Amino acid sequence: MAKDPGRVLIFDTTLRDGEQSPGASLNLEEKLAIAMQLGRLGVDVIEAGFPFASPGDFSAVQRIAEQVGGNQGPTICGLARASRSDIKACAEAVSPAPRKRIHTFIATSDIHLEHKLRKSRADVLKIVPEMVSYARSLVDDIEFSCEDAGRSDPDFLYQVIESAITAGAGTINIPDTVGYATPAEFGALIAGINKNVPNINEAVLSVHGHNDLGLAVANFLEAVKNGARQLECTINGIGERAGNAALEELVMGLHVRRTYFNPFFGRDVDNPTPLTAVRTEEITKTSRLVSNLTGMVVQPNKAIVGANAFAHESGIHQDGVLKNRLTYEIVDAKTVGLADNRISLGKLSGRSAVRARFEELGYDLSREDLNEAFARFKDLADRKRDITDRDLEAIVSEQVQQPEARFQLCFVQVSCGSSLRPTATVTLADQDGHEETAVALGTGPVDAVCRALNSLACEPNELVEFSVKSVTEGIDAMGEVTIRLRRESKLYSGHSADTDVVVAAAQAFVNALNRLVAGQKNLPIHPQRDSVESEARPSI
């Protein structure tokens, strides 16, 4: 691959680094739904997971490679530590994709070498070409990352990068793993690599960064000015600690300020050619899908996709926008897919109309899934006069959480009031269909429901977060509930939506319990924290 593809490649790692956000673990069906939407969004590369981490991660990457990767679709990538077993598993997982990539990495900073890997620089300089060559023998497209590059000695970094490219890496990724760099420093690091690595023209230069100091997007845009041509990012900026660089902010930054960035690509200032291949009108829908399925609510003042991103409270601002939107808006809301909902569905709408609307929203449902979604639609239409696009999205996002469920909510009823002690009655079914009922008191209706469910599930946990928000306006709006449970320092999220927030809370709690049970069965390996010892330096 040439060094400069003529535009910025978007490498989405929502399903790998984004999923490492505490409580954001996704099941296979949820990962597949997000991957399909990322394909519609038009990202260049989907990092689908870390195949060696667990059988579940392997299956998810393989399924995405089978169903999402295509000749005209995104490259499907898997992450692998610099070890033969990781790389082999990765190659097998991505093998069904016509366009596939192995992304392998090893730390290069002295602090990581001493305290995590317990290896010398000489060890790393031997491991890198061996593992990149092995990966290249299995897959043609290889990406190599220098973990914690932002705190690595530049001269050593240059040596590692040169050896990786010589061994067959077509993309070199420079991560600011701990979000330590400032824009000027990160830009200088990229410029130094371009200047001091002799064979850098044989690879695309990529960047990956975390937002610990709130500088990830600024760092990336500075890196673009200095020759980076692939950006590794996540939807809504989710990820470990303070998250990753946000895809929507990067893409729209390059879109809105194209005249500023064009000269850094050797273009005329007014060149209208987009700097990325992302279909910006899919951004809002992608953001909502990821938020719903991960249970990670987008803050109202979040750039581009926050609820307040296009809202104006100030009278002066409102007056200006009414006269000309350009007075206070630099982004047309329609550009990111934010338009008025078409309220055209109700209790008399038929299956064909509902199916057509789902297809317009980008959801390709099987006959079985459509039947279930239509049944939920009709149930909602009996309680709510007009069904909006947001309601339909809520129906689908909850539906894909259901597979592989150990517990299923059958019944919930609550008695409460100013002179009543909140009392909940719930019925829960297990995988064999056996039902049990429990009654519990609580400080409020939701607390009573959670206590009753816990008494039936017998899975120790601590409820650490309960949040509820309205899907749309109005007294009959669906309420979206997100619940997070903690067990042994691990967080598990559950999400649900219903016109009755108590019912939504009960279902969200059950969804979180199901994730907790699945997570306890097979705790995955963490790619950065679990280092490879004996197998990290095999002979080839």
Kindly report the CATH number assigned to the domain that includes residue 443.
3.30.160.270
Is 317's pLDDT higher than 50? no
Q: Is residue 298 part of a domain?
A: no
* Rounded Cα–Cα distance for residues 156 and 158 (Å): 5
| Cross-strand partners of 483 | 466, 494
**Ranges 44-58, 416-430, 462-476: which has the least confidence:** 462-476
Identify whether residues 412 and 263 lie together within a single domain.
no
Q: Is residue 372 part of a domain?
A: no
Strand order in the sheet with 420-429: 408-417, 420-429, 435-441
Q: Is residue 235 part of a domain?
A: yes
Is 27's pLDDT higher than 90? no
Helix, strand or coil for residue 22? coil
**Ranges 117-121, 216-220, 340-344, 446-450: which has the least confidence:** 340-344
* Rounded Cα–Cα distance for residues 218 and 257 (Å): 13
Alpha carbons within 13 A on the beta-carbon side of 461: 30
Domain residues for the domain of 489 are 408-521
* Rounded Cα–Cα distance for residues 297 and 508 (Å): 14
Is 343's pLDDT higher than 60? no
Is 252's pLDDT higher than 90? yes
In Å, what is the CA distance from 442 to each residue of 140, 335, 448, 453?
Answer: 59, 47, 4, 12
* Rounded Cα–Cα distance for residues 32 and 26 (Å): 10
pLDDT at residue 533, rounded to an integer? 56
**Ranges 23-27, 333-337, 497-501: which has the least confidence:** 23-27
* Rounded Cα–Cα distance for residues 179 and 191 (Å): 19
Q: What is the mean pLDDT of the chain?
A: 88
Q: Give the pLDDT band of residue 334 (cuts 50, 70, 90).
A: confident
* Rounded Cα–Cα distance for residues 417 and 319 (Å): 45
Average pLDDT over residues 153-179: 97
* Rounded Cα–Cα distance for residues 107 and 152 (Å): 9
Q: Give the pLDDT band of residue 386 (cuts 50, 70, 90).
A: confident
Domain count, the chain: 2
pLDDT at residue 225, rounded to an integer? 98
* Rounded Cα–Cα distance for residues 421 and 136 (Å): 66
Q: Give the pLDDT band of residue 333 (cuts 50, 70, 90).
A: confident
Average pLDDT over residues 56-84: 93
Q: What's the CATH number where 77 sits?
A: 3.20.20.70
**Ranges 135-139, 272-276, 282-286: which has the least confidence:** 282-286
pLDDT at residue 21, rounded to an integer? 85
DSSP 115: I
Domain boundary among 235, 267, 299: 267
Domain boundary among 209, 237, 267: 267
Structure tokens at 305: 């996709």
Q: Give the pLDDT band of residue 537 (cuts 50, 70, 90).
A: very low
Structure tokens at 120: 């010398």
Percent of the chain residues topping a pLDDT of 90: 61
**b/e for 422-455, b at 16 or more Cβ within 10 A?**
bbbbbbbbeeeeeeeebebebeebbbbbbbbbbe
Average pLDDT over residues 356-381: 81
Biggest CA–CA distance in the chain, Å, is 78
Domain boundary among 267, 295, 312: 267
Q: Is residue 163 part of a domain?
A: yes
pLDDT at residue 399, rounded to an integer? 64
Q: Is residue 400 part of a domain?
A: no
Identify whether residues 167 and 18 lie together within a single domain.
yes
Q: Give the pLDDT band of residue 347 (cuts 50, 70, 90).
A: confident
pLDDT at residue 312, rounded to an integer? 44
Q: Is residue 278 part of a domain?
A: no
Q: Is residue 101 part of a domain?
A: yes
Q: Is residue 353 part of a domain?
A: no
Sign of CA dihedral 394, 400, 405, 408: positive
